[in-house]
Amino acid sequence: MIALAAVACIAAPVGGAAAASPTVRMAIVHTVSGCHVWQTGPTARGPAGKVTLKRGTRLELRATCPMDFDLAQVAGPRLALGEPRMYAGTTRTLVFRKPGVYRLTAKNIQSSEQQGLQTLGPDNGLTLTVVVR
pLDDT single digits (tens) 14-62 = 444 456 789 999 999 999 999 999 999 998 999 999 999 999 999 999 9
Query: Any idea which of 44-53, 64-73, 113-122 has the lowest mean pLDDT?
Result: 113-122
**CATH number (domain holding residue 74):** 2.60.40.420
Distance between CA atoms of residues 10 and 128, nearest Å: 45
Residue at 14 is within a domain: no
Residue at 67 is within a domain: yes
pLDDT value at residue 7: 35
Query: Any idea which of 2-11, 36-45, 71-80, 95-104 has the lowest mean pLDDT?
Result: 2-11
Q: Does pTM top 0.85 for this prediction?
A: no
Which residues, in sequence order, are CB contacts of 4 under 8 Å at separation 6+?
none
Owning domain of residue 112: 19-132
Residue 124 one-letter amino acid: N
Count CA within 13 A, CB hemisphere, residue 108.
26
Residue at 64 is within a domain: yes
CB atoms near residue 101 (< 10 Å): 13
Residue at 100 is within a domain: yes
| Cα–Cα distance list, 94 to 11, 31, 43, 51 (Å) | 31, 25, 20, 13
For the chain, the domain total comes to 1
110 neighbors 90 (Cβ within 8 angstroms): no
Residue at 13 is within a domain: no
Residue 125 has pLDDT above 70, yes or no: yes
Residue at 126 is within a domain: yes
